[in-house]
Structure 1
Amino acid sequence: MTATDAAPAAVLRAARIPQDGLHEGPRTLHRLPEGSEERPYELFELVPRARTIGAEIRGVDLSHPLTPALFEELDRALLEWKVLFFRSQHLTSDRQRAFAGNWGELETNPLLAAGSSEDVVRFDKGAGGVRTFENVWHTDVTFRERPALGAVLQLREVPPSGGDTMWADMAAAYDNLPQDVKDRVDDARAVHDFIPGFIRFYGPERLAAFQDLFPPVEHPVVRTHPVTGRRMLFVNTSFTTRIVGMDRDESDRLLRLLFQQAHVPEYQVRFRWQPGDIAFWDNRATQHYAVNDYDGHRRIAERVTIAGDRPR
């Protein structure tokens, strides 16, 4: 065959996928900050539940006060795994509060139903009840100037199937952003407001009473963890309304891209509850999603939240 007889080069039709979506292919999954040293845990067994986020702690009875050594190991586990699971604890509300109080002052939330005290939120979700903050990825109370450090959630009654909770690692989400997106968001700030998150459940009359208590606040789009130094996405669907200094269309488009990052399975862990189970998560480093797939059944949970610092 001569050069003039060579087959013509293949020509493909024009085709493209929409920009600013989730990219395909492998992802970088670092559980620890760069340069961190792996250390064993000596006071309990830790069983990983996903690559970068979520671990079950075995051999700890949370009904007893924590010793300083046990607190240090649990605190390190929380920072390294971002959400910890404890099976069959069956804590009283007071013991749940005491456990959470090891990490700081407890927070109240007048927008949610209280349990046995002001700092215990009770989610009692039966058939036809108001199902607050299910089926949406979010980080708790980012509408506050100082959003929560973390939360301790206990399930008191679970449906026969369904009702799982999922968490997403927002440090992994940041790590895998394209560099051009990182360049746009690294120094950006965003506005957070409680109204978009709560208007789905409550009418304007109820929310209007809290507008002065919770005015809109600004936080970094990418915050730095105050202990680990990890950079993490800090915007969420429930409360982040716009990026400061951008026109509305540009802000909406960029926020939609950032919101999508919590949906990547490689960044997630999913927990199937049993009565008496506890989940303790670092609210600074995660988003979570309560799965509403148990219609016709009851699910009762109690949450205690630890006050946090101003994001930087």
Structure 2
Amino acid sequence: MPPSATETVTSTAPRSLSIRPEADNATVRTNSASVKREKPRWFSETAKPGDAYPYERFLPIFDRDLKLPPLEPFEHVDPGHQALQDAAPRSFLDGADVDDLTPEFGSEVKGIQLHQLDTRGRQQLALYVAQRGVVVFRDQGFHDQEPEWMLNDWTKSFGRPHIHPCSGSPAGYPEFHLVYRDAKAVYNYEMDSRLTSSVWHSDVTYEEQPPGLTALFLFDSPKSGGDTGYADQRAAYKHLSPSLREYLETLRVVHSGVEQAEFSRKGARGGVVKREPVENVHPLVRRHPVTGEKAIFVNPQFSRRIVGLKQEESDALLNLLYNHIKSGVDFQVRLRHKPRSVILWDNRITAHTAIVDFAAGGGRRHGARLTPQAERPFI
């Protein structure tokens, strides 16, 4: 199987955890929930030899004692539904600078703070991300919020926080899915047997209820490189011929987490399996619950076979779709992880890949993903 798209490094982190970096120039009003700080001055390209890494506490650990029960189904109502009834469904962007990266897919937003959005703003945000597919918000104070807020306030607004069955997380917060790589790290982007680091996928599609609106933010990133590529699965669907689209809508696909778990059991990714792997069957084409748009819902990371087809038939059709998605430059964007940026995407209608093109320079790529589960896929 291909290597997992999860980047990890074995590390020991302290048991106490605060999302705010420790810095000499930080100022905090302790009698108020409002916090004002200067932006952290730490970035790997400007660090001096011997400088302490202020986000050391967010390096992954791998808890071999954590054993999680199977996930239970839950009812999910997407907050974007409420925004459909809003007379001004994009008013949360009032005063913002919005740059659409392509006409239909991907946007960059400056001038609003995600952590300050109220319930109506988050509902509008959910609809906006569902419409644009992926949106990067620049110059955010999101990184400075406490982890309890990130999980219990932010993530739960969009679904049930997911705990990855294999990846590393900060001590005490297994819901944080951490990505990490530097020049000395043990990581699982082994490229000796592959021509490229890219692994196009949608996150944990083997779950009965895969994620919806997902957030990724980096604490530290290299001066250049380490971008994330995104593909619009709706446009990939629309590019196919009408007769093929009609046929694909009749098909169901097995998505499996077994190979990922076995990869970890062999010692990769910290060698941890926190929850036993599952397989689930999902429609090959799924419909978004809010916009009603259809999107291809397969990926080489977790899709295994098409139900009812012979293996050669299934492989041929899935490989056709995989190649179509990864080569579709007319429905892809590549986003830079500038400091203080937060990328939000709708995992139901997009695929993505990390781009590991910075290893030779010794840069560090360290961040967190917040992954709320949504509804079970349907057509």
Q: What range is the shorter-chain TM-score in?
A: 0.7 to 0.9
Q: Secondary structure at the match of 1:111?
A: coil
> Larger relative CO (CA 8 A, sep 6+): 1 or 2?
1
Equivalent positions of 1:228-243 (< 5 A) are 228-243=291-306
Q: Does 1:253 align with 2:310?
A: no
In the other structure, the counterpart of 2:257 is 194
Which shifted more, 207-216 or 177-186? 207-216
Task: State the shift of 1:176 in Å.
Answer: 1.1
Which position in structure 1 is the counterpart of 2:140? 89
Q: Do residues 118 (structure 1) and 174 (structure 2) align?
A: yes
The one-letter amino acid of 2:280's match is: V
Are 2:104 and 1:52 aligned? yes
Mapping of 1:154-169 within 5 angstroms?
A: 154-169=217-232
| Cα offset, 1:76, TM superposition | 2.2
Alignment of 1:242-281 (within 5 A): 242-263=305-326, 264-281=328-345
| Residues 181-207 of structure 1: per-residue CA shift (max 9 Å, x gap) | 2233111001111234566x6344779
Q: 1:68 to 1:179 in 2, by over 3 A?
A: same
Contact 1:79 1:282 in 2 (8 A): yes
- What is aligned with 2:90? 41
1:93-143: per-residue Cα shift (whole Å, max 9, x none)? 524433333212211113111125111111121124314696200000001
Higher radius of gyration, 1 or 2: 1
| Aligned residue in 1 for 2:363 | 297
The separation in 2 between residues aligned to 1:211 and 1:125, in whole angstroms, is 22
**Does 158-167 or 133-142 show the bigger shift?**
133-142
2:119 to 68, 84, 89: 68
Q: 1:137 to 1:206 in 2, by over 3 A?
A: closer
Aligned to 1:123, what secondary structure does the other structure show? Answer: strand
CA contact (8 A) 1:158 1:275 kept: yes
Counterparts in 2 of 1:41 and 1:206: CA distance versus 1, 3 Å = closer
Alignment gaps of 5+ in structure 2? 1-83, 191-196
Q: TM-score scaled to structure 1, two decimals? A: 0.80
Partner deviation per Cα, 1:152-180 (whole Å, 9 max, x = no partner): 11011001211000111101111111233
Cα distance change of structure 1 residues 260 and 76 upon mapping to structure 2, 3 Å threshold:
same
Unaligned runs of 5+ in 1: 1-35
Q: How many corresponding residue pairs?
A: 274
Matched to 2:122, the amino acid is F
The 8 Å contact of residues 196 and 238 in structure 1, kept in 2 or not, is answered as no
CA distance in 1: counterparts of 2:374 and 2:283, whole angstroms: 15
Native 8 Å contact 1:144 1:214 kept in 2: no
Distance 1:99 1:110 in 2: 21
Residues 203 and 209 of structure 1: is their aligned pair in 2 closer, same or farther, counting only changes over 3 Å?
A: closer
Report the alpha carbon displacement of residue 210 of structure 1 after superposing the two structures with TM.
5.1
